[in-house]
Amino acid sequence: MPRFVVFGAAGMLGHALMDELAARSLLATGLDRRACDVTDADACLAVLAQLRPAVAINCAAFTDVNGAETQREAAMAVNGAGAGNVARACEKIGSRCLFVSTDYVFDGAKAEPYLETDIVNPLNVYGGSKLEGERQTLAGCANSLVVRTSWLYGPYGRNFVQTILQRAESGQPLGIVEDQTGAPTYTRDLARVLCDVAVSKLTGVVHATNRGACSWYQFAKSALDLAGLSSVQLSPVKTSDYPTPALRPANSRLTDTRLGTAGIPAMPTWEDGLRRYLLETGRIS
């Protein structure tokens, strides 16, 4: 039975991935930052040499998109160099390496959904740091796979849906961006795909998101409607009306062209993922 190591196991995605591995009765060791800081190359090699996993899945990440604009070195250390440390350690002990990346490696200027082979051009430091992580992972480990995803939310940690519902319940009017489009992705669904691709022969880059796409405004409206909060004042706004330190791509849609060829089932729609998330968190029954 293959043994897995999950870096960033205490995070939103890492926690869901540990649940999925346990549900499949797969042997797995989860590492948070205290157990292994990915910015420490020696620590990465030592822990992997001790555990000897068949697969290491790197979910460790600096995820503060706006904060990365003023903390570039910290973001690059975790998302870029840290990914390289994990990948090179995997190569030395003969493990497979998976790295979770982001839609933000693209600039959003393309009209259609992005393919795995499209030219990357991140608009912000976070996207640039994840792109560096992609490059270091692929260069550092021959048996490696980069999994790009988008707009993650799930039962562990804060996320967009949770924030929207809490603000709605407090009676706050909501202005949500309507001119950024992507695929909200439920961590439970992505965790299943990560387990599937981990034992596949895929290498290089794949895209994995819930099917379909929407704007942040449409995503918020769907969550409010399902949760019985449709009476809350919700207004669409333009990105230009809601400036943030980090620029975001207008088009974050990703097309999966490779998972099906490996026999991995397509992910559910984003609407289905949202409904199941609200059920799991007790927002609907």
Residue 280 lies in a domain: no
Q: Whole domain around residue 122: which residue ranges?
A: 3-159+183-210
CATH number at residue 63: 3.40.50.720
> What total of structural domains would you count in the chain?
1
Cα separation, 7 vs 83, in Å, equals 10
Residue whose structure tokens are 């190591």: 5
* The overall pTM is greater than 0.85: yes
Residue 175, beta-bridge partner list = 235
Residue 81 lies in a domain: yes
Evaluate whether residue 242 is within a structural domain: no
Inside any domain, residue 231:
no
pLDDT tens track, the chain, 285 positions: 569 999 999 999 999 999 999 999 999 999 999 999 999 999 999 999 999 999 999 999 999 999 999 999 999 999 999 999 999 999 999 999 999 999 999 999 999 999 999 999 999 999 999 999 999 999 999 999 999 999 999 999 899 999 999 999 998 899 999 999 999 999 999 999 999 999 999 999 999 999 999 999 999 999 999 999 999 999 999 999 989 999 999 999 999 999 998 999 999 999 999 999 999 999 998
Query: According to the model, what pLDDT value does residue 1 have?
Result: 54
Enzyme catalytic residues: 126
88 lies in some domain:
yes
Report if residue 97 sits inside a domain. Answer: yes
* Per-residue CA distances from 70 to 124, 201, 246 (Å): 11, 39, 10
Instruction: Look at residue 236 and give its three-state secondary structure.
Output: strand
